Each structure stands twice: as C-alpha cells, then as structure tokens.
C-alpha cells in the first residue's frame, strides 16, 4: 500500500479507501489507484481486512457424523445460505464422546471464528461454560441449547403426528421404538418423541402400555432388534412408530424376514423422511432438513452483520407423508 500511495501521490488511507470501495476519494483517484494496484499485482489480504474490522470472517460447524445423510443435509443447507457471503466455513467432526469433550476443552484457545453452529447433538453444562468463554455467536441447528439461537422442529409434534395417523387408521395397540444415543449425555429428541407418542394415546383415550415402548440403539440394527422384541410379545402390536426412518428400515427388515405382511398385518411409520424412505415406500413424518440448515446459516449471517432478527428461536413445521407401510388393522374373523 505504501508503494501504491507513493506512486499515486496520495496517503495510505486514501489507498485503503479506494481499494475497499469506501467513500472519501474521487472516482478519478480511485481508478488510478486500482490501475496501479493491478500493475503491482497487489491483493488485499482477507485476514488483514477482517481483523481491521474486528472480524475473522469464519464460522465453525461442528457435527457428530459428517457422512450421515441428516448431518450432511444440514451442512448443505448451511453452505447454501452462506454461499456468496464473505464468511469461510470451518468443519469439525466429533464422532466419539472423547472427541467432543476434547473439542470443547480447546474451544477458548481457538478464538479464530466469529460464530459456531452445532448440528443436533447434546452439550453438557461444562461445555456450555466453554462456549461462554469464547464470547462468540452460537446457533444450534436441529435442536435447542438453552436460550441460545436455534433452528429446529417440534419433536413432540412429529411423534404425535405419526401416532395419531395410526390411531385414526383404527389401531389400538401402537408401539414405539425409541432411540438411545451414542453418548451418555441426555438428549431431548428421544424424550420429546416419547412424550408426543404418549400424548396421542391420551388424546384417543388409549392406555400407554410399558411393554409397547422399546428402547434400542439408534440405527437400523437397533430398529431390527427392537422389532424382534415386539414380535416376541404374547400380544404383538398392530402398528409401530419408529424414532427415525433408519430405525424403521431395520424394523421393516425384521418384519419381511419374519414373513409378516406390511401393512396388512402390521403398520409401520418412521420420522425424518430419509432419502431412501420413498424407495421402500415408508410412511413417515417429514422434517425439512435442508431448510433447517439454510435457516441456521441465514440466522448466523444476520446475527454477525448486526441485522435485526425478530425471532432467534425458529421452529419449522413437519408433515405426514403417507406411503405403503401404513394402513388399517386386519379384520379378524
């Protein structure tokens, strides 16, 4: 900048204003300075420019599983929202519990970001304190984190929609395959979906039978094992709500291997609308994952740019998608 200023016969401040597009220099001077900059192959350092503005221009996204369709879809939505902005995105994957703890332990020393987006995993009280020490904007996508900004669905309502659909079809023995997380920290999703399931039963004056609620490890294998346990009951259910579509896929595999007709003998509903749900004709409750990510990215951008944000706690609607795995219970006799 000193070289350009000397050749143009202006101050360094004028060079800075001309190259940044700020006011305070004539158009002729701005054109001459930019021509000299091009001749000298001068390029503004993005990091230096951001630091001068008190910003690093970076957003960190933390995910539990980069390859999983849900997290990948959230990330795609975030990247779509931030594409074209002056923000760079740093990506961190914390698959195992010790990786998550180490990431949060090192957070206060990592002050190279302006914001942090956490993708739908539980955070301990100690880890929340670490976030406070960072002093940056934190947004949760796909869940909640205290009073911090978030974008989510209503998990209670999603499970209620799934259960209500089966009850309206005439089922009275509706089971729930619920999930246990990969970490020891409590996570709101399974508890919320359990409450939605119970609420739909209460609305229909149906009893909540403990034997019809099965806890299993999250994933298709857990869903397969849980369905096998339900089929082993003296009185198996006529319909099942699965915590997620992946668990429903496993449950569907057990049903088909057992020779049980779906939905003629047993109906099945998942939650999420996984990209494979349409292929296997799974009835499900759709959550708009891409839109969740886009909303989270847009929210972070507005907060970092000090724009007016009327609602920092965003809840997007879910939608029942009826396909071939649900129907009326079989008439006996």
- Look at residue 157 and tell me whether its pLDDT is greater than 80: yes
Sign of the Cα pseudo-torsion (269, 271, 273, 279, in order): negative
For residue 222, name the pLDDT band (cuts at 50, 70, 90): very high
For residue range 38-48, what is the model confidence (pLDDT) as tens digits?
777 766 555 54
Amino acid 111: pLDDT: 61
Tell me which of 76-85, 122-131, 309-318 is least confident.
122-131
Is pLDDT at 103 greater than 60 in this prediction? yes
DSSP string computed for 146-188: TTS-EEEE-HHHHHHHHHHHHHHTT-S-EEEEEEE-SSSS--H
Predicted pLDDT of residue 134: 80
DSSP 113: -
**Interacting residues of 142 by C-beta distance below 8 A, sequence separation 6+:** 70, 74, 119, 120, 151, 152, 153, 289, 292
Q: Collect contacts of 182-189 with beta carbons under 8 A, ≥24 apart.
A: 182/64, 182/97, 182/217, 182/218, 183/97, 183/100, 183/121, 183/122, 184/97, 185/122, 185/123, 185/124, 186/122, 187/121, 187/122, 187/143, 188/122, 188/143, 188/144, 188/155, 189/120, 189/143, 189/155, 189/243
Three-state DSSP state, 239 = strand
pLDDT band at 55 (very low <50, low <70, confident <90, very high): low
Per the model's pLDDT, the better-predicted residue between 104 and 195 turns out to be: 195
pLDDT at 63: 93
Please tell me the least confidently modeled range out of 6-15, 30-39, 85-94, 180-189.
180-189
Give the least confident one: 26-30, 115-119, 255-259. Answer: 26-30
Q: What is the pLDDT of residue 109?
A: 52
The pLDDT assigned to 333 comes to 31
For residues 14 and 37, the answer to whether their CB atoms sit within 8 Å is no
Q: What pLDDT is attached to residue 308?
A: 85
The more confident residue out of 131 and 215 is: 215
Mean residue pLDDT of the chain comes to 89
CB 213 within 8 A of CB 178: yes
- The residue written with tokens 């319909």 in the block is 239
Between 103 and 156, the more confident residue is 156
Mean pLDDT of the 278-284 span: 97
| Span 310-324, pLDDT tens digits | 899 999 999 999 999
> Which residues fall within 8 angstroms of residue 82, CB to CB, at 6 or more apart?
59, 89, 297, 300, 301
On the question of pLDDT at 217 being above 50, the answer is yes
Which phi and psi (to 5°) does residue 317 adopt?
A: -75, 155
DSSP 3-state of 315: strand
Q: Which fold has domain 155-287?
A: Rossmann fold (3.40.50)
Q: Find which of 113-117, 127-131, 136-140, 174-178 is predicted with most confidence, using mean pLDDT.
A: 174-178
| Contact predicate 89/62, CB 8 Å | no
| pLDDT value at 330 more than 70 | yes
**How many Å apart are CA 14 and CA 29, to the nearest integer?**
9
pLDDT digits (tens, 9 = 90+) for 108-119: 555 678 999 999
Distance CA(321)–CA(327), nearest Å, equals 13
Q: Please report, for the chain, the start and end positions of each structural domain, with discontinuous segments joined by +.
A: 2-44, 58-148+289-315, 155-287
Pick the residue with more confidence: 312 or 54?
Answer: 312
**Which pLDDT band holds residue 21 (cuts at 50, 70, 90)?**
low
Give the residue from 159, 161, 127 showing the smallest Cα distance to 145: 127
Q: At what angle do helices 289-304 and 69-82 cross, to 10 degrees?
A: 40
pLDDT at residue 135, rounded to an integer: 82
Task: Report the pLDDT averaged over residues 92-98.
Answer: 87
**pLDDT number for residue 303:** 94
Same fold, 58-148+289-315 and 155-287: yes
Distance between CA 316 and CA 261 in Å, rounded? 34
| Residue 33 pLDDT level (bands cut at 50, 70, 90) | confident
- Top pLDDT among 203 and 133 is at 203
- Is CATH 3.40.47.10 correct for 58-148+289-315? no
Q: Full-prediction pTM beyond 0.85?
A: no
């Amino acid at each position: 900048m000193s070289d350009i200023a000397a050749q143009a016969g202006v101050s360094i401040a004028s060079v800075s204003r001309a190259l940044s597009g700020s006011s305070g220099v004539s158009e002729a001077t701005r054109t001459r300075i930019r021509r000299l900059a091009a001749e000298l192959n001068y390029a503004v350092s993005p990091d230096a420019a951001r630091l001068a503005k008190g910003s690093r221009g970076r957003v960190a996204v933390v995910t539990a599983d980069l390859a999983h369709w849900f997290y990948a879809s959230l990330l795609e939505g975030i990247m779509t929202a931030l594409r074209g902005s002056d923000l760079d995105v740093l990506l961190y994957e914390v698959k195992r519990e010790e990786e998550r703890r180490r990431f949060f332990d090192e957070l206060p020393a990592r002050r190279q970001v302006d914001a942090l987006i956490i993708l739908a995993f539980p955070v301990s009280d100690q880890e929340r304190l670490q976030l406070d020490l960072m002093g940056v904007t934190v947004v949760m996508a796909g869940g909640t984190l205290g009073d911090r900004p978030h974008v989510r669905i209503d998990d209670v309502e999603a499970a209620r929609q799934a259960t209500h659909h089966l009850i309206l079809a005439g089922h009275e023995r509706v089971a729930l395959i619920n999930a246990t997380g990969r970490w020891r920290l409590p996570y709101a999703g399974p508890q919320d979906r359990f409450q939605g399931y119970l609420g739909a039963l209460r609305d229909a004056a149906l009893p909540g039978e403990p034997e019809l609620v099965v806890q299993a490890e999250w994933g298709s294998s857990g869903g397969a094992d849980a369905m096998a346990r339900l089929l082993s009951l003296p009185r198996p259910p006529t319909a099942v709500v699965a915590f997620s579509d992946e668990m429903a896929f496993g449950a569907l595999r057990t049903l088909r291997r057992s020779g049980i007709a779906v939905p003629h003998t047993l109906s099945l509903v998942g939650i999420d609308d996984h990209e494979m749900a349409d292929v296997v004709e799974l009835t499900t409750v759709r959550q708009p994952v891409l839109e969740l990510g886009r909303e989270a990215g847009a929210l972070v951008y507005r907060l970092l740019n000090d724009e007016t944000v009327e609602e920092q706690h965003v809840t997007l609607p879910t939608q029942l998608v009826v396909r071939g795995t649900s129907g009326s219970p079989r008439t006996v006799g």
